[in-house]
Structure 1
Amino acid sequence: MENKSLAGGRFLLVTVLNVVITVFELLGGLLSGSLSLLSDAFHNLGDAVSVVLSYVAHRIGRRRQTRQNTFGYRRVEILTALLNAGVLILISVILAVEAVRRLLAPEPVKGDVMLLVAIVSFAANLLSTILLNHGAKHNLNIRATYLHLLSDALASIGVIIGAILITVWQISWVDPTITILVAGYIVYESWPIVKQTFAILMEGAPKLDYDAIAHDICALPEIKGVHHLHAWQIDENNLVFSVHVNMQDLPLSQIEPVYRQIEALLCHKYNVNHVTIQAECYRGKDESLFYKQNDWRHD
């Protein structure tokens, strides 16, 4: 029930909120001369695009497997998460460069206009983050979008503080300084998403104790050895696992119960979703746990 709500009404409401905030902040930034407001406006524009992309990817990712995509379409969400995080980092770098230019050549800022716009923006961004908070815990795609919105909420707090300082003490360098700090924080939060999504797309192995897995499988009385283990992720929640096992020379009717034991072990203890097992008597018994470049010649 939560997923349907998240994929529909909440995404729509968050999109509308971000479009309204973007227009409001663009006008406020131009009227006040505030770079931090303009930077927040561009972030919100990116958020609106991010939310739409996330919604589309979320819908595509729920499609069933086909003959052309036998693992389904969940990777679409990983691609979208990588795109969202990458764009966020790029925008942050551009704004940080502009902020440095403003520090070297300060420009006047209307603190009162800046403060009013920042307060309204903060309220709207906070509501958006609350709407996507639950989905961000279980989905990289939604988490990337959630970080977009959270970064804007934090940026709005910085803009509010800066507006107060500018209004009371006329400290013009506060505005670009806040922009640099917020940009740095956004890059810091976005980089782990880039790393994780890139690792998934590169078929990187999930963080599992593979020696313990091999030990647990070999603890079964029918198993004499384990080799050519492979593990990868379809998305952050779905792990795929394949392994070759050396067994006694048994009929298939006796091998299948052993398969089920291995599958249950991997599922319950290591959270593996999909398991492929290849049974062998002698072939590969002296080969390594993980694939080596020359091992294919023995298969």
Structure 2
Amino acid sequence: MHSHGHSHRNDVEQQAHPVANRLQMLWAVCLTGGFMVVEVIGGLISGSLALLADAGHMLTDTAALLLAFYAMTLSAKPADNKRTFGYGRLQVLAAYTNGMFLLALTGWIVWESIERFYEPNPIKSGTMLTVAILGLVVNLIVFKVLHSSSQSNINIRSAMLHVLGDLLGSVGAIIAALIIWQWQLLWVDPLLSIFVSILILRSAYHVIKDSSHILLEGKPQEFDTQEIKRNLMELEGVVDIHHMHLWSISEQEPLMTFHAMIGERYDNDKMIDQMLGLLRNRHGLAHATIQIERNACLEDTTQVACADEASN
């Protein structure tokens, strides 16, 4: 029979989505949702359609942040009989959903902006400027709250793109309000909206690309399978490494499986320990499953059959 080796993170390391990250996301939800209410009130009092439209944008962002927060909460659940790998990939799915939603949102903004070139709406620049400045302050706070965790978490990164869109929108609204107040050039508002949409679109593309790569079981970009195989082959007793697969549950959870053919006089358990140690210490792979073989695998176009290990 075959021998298998496994390496797992400890319970603390497996918690890829710590409580601190969820609290940061919750703060972002509260701040974004709270300012959305302020924009609705400001728009109704001033009669500004521009502010009400931006409040609608903030509503979609609040929904996106809630989705990200919900995914983070569920992903912290332990593995069970139905989800043996746990729920970590929910964050990747939420990131992909948010990315697709960003594409639809930027398309809508561009469409509305083109219409406003032909039929410009009256804008009260004073009210617009005040609310835009408040929005900039709120979005800067939310952006700072999320930024510290965004590099290692694609779900937070996708949510942060919504906030970045609002931040850029607030900057654009301030510029547009000042120009409209000074020169009454209403076409500046839709022009800046299109510019912001292009910036958001570029970031959304990268989020969709990264999340879909994980969902399609793609190899994590930071690992080189050829180098890993070469390092394993350098171990004394390792004859061949094949059927190597490397993928990830989420950005923080890379997984690996492979078959290792070893020499007859080498002990299975000791060889497994050496290979797991190499993967962990040199490549940062904390979860690997290794199948030990004494004879070559027999392959054809329909199946892969490996010879059983001789009994000792």
Using structure 1 for the length normalisation, give the TM-score.
0.89
> Is the alpha carbon distance of 1:38 and 1:191 closer, same or farther for their aligned partners in structure 2, counting shifts above 3 Å?
farther
Q: 1:161 aligns with which of 167, 175, 195?
A: 175
| Uncovered stretches (5+) of structure 2, i.e. residues with no partner | 1-11, 307-312
Aligned to 2:70: 56
Aligned to 2:195: 181
Does residue 14 of the first structure (1) align with residue 28 of the second (2)?
yes
**CA distance, structure 2, for counterparts of residue 34 and residue 185 of structure 1:** 24
Q: Deviations over 1:88-122 (max 9, x none)?
A: 22111111111011113333322112111101111
Does residue 227 of the first structure (1) align with residue 242 of the second (2)?
yes
**CA distance, structure 2, for counterparts of residue 99 and residue 218 of structure 1:** 59
Larger CA deviation: 10-19 vs 156-165: 10-19
Aligned to 1:247: 262
Does residue 261 of the first structure (1) align with residue 274 of the second (2)?
yes
Higher helix share: 1
Q: Relative contact order: is structure 1 or structure 2 higher (C-alpha 8 Å, sep ≥ 6)?
A: 2
Instruction: State the 1:25 CA deviation.
Output: 2.5
**CA distance, structure 2, for counterparts of residue 93 and residue 26 of structure 1:** 23
Instruction: State the 1:297 CA deviation.
Output: 3.6
3-state DSSP class of the match of 1:235?
A: coil
Q: 2:205 aligns with which of 169, 186, 191?
A: 191
**CA distance, structure 2, for counterparts of residue 79 and residue 215 of structure 1:** 34
3-state DSSP class of the match of 1:277?
A: strand
**CA distance, structure 2, for counterparts of residue 235 and residue 227 of structure 1:** 24
* 2:297–2:304 CA contact under 8 A, matched in 1: no
**CA distance, structure 2, for counterparts of residue 264 and residue 178 of structure 1:** 54
Does residue 66 of the first structure (1) align with residue 80 of the second (2)?
yes
**CA distance, structure 2, for counterparts of residue 32 and residue 271 of structure 1:** 57
RMSD: 2.2
Q: Deviations over 1:108-165 (max 9, x none)?
A: 3221121111011111111111222222222111111122112211110111001000
Does residue 131 of the first structure (1) align with residue 145 of the second (2)?
yes
Q: 2:297 aligns with which of 278, 284, 299?
A: 284
Does residue 150 of the first structure (1) align with residue 164 of the second (2)?
yes
Q: 1:45 aligns with which of 59, 65, 76?
A: 59
**Residue 234 of structure 2 aligns to which amino acid in structure 1?**
A
Instruction: State the 1:296 CA deviation.
Output: 2.6
Does residue 95 of the first structure (1) align with residue 109 of the second (2)?
yes
**CA distance, structure 2, for counterparts of residue 165 and residue 32 of structure 1:** 20
**CA distance, structure 1, for counterparts of residue 275 and residue 53 of structure 2:** 53
Q: Deviations over 1:176-235 (max 9, x none)?
A: 011111111111111111111111111112222221111111111101111111011100
| Uncovered stretches (5+) of structure 1, i.e. residues with no partner | 288-292
**CA distance, structure 1, for counterparts of residue 284 and residue 60 of structure 2:** 35
> Is the alpha carbon distance of 1:162 and 1:168 closer, same or farther for their aligned partners in structure 2, counting shifts above 3 Å?
same
> Is the alpha carbon distance of 1:5 and 1:277 closer, same or farther for their aligned partners in structure 2, counting shifts above 3 Å?
closer
Q: 1:108 aligns with which of 119, 122, 135?
A: 122
Aligned to 2:224: 209
3-state DSSP class of the match of 1:226?
A: strand
**CA distance, structure 2, for counterparts of residue 48 and residue 294 of structure 1:** 51
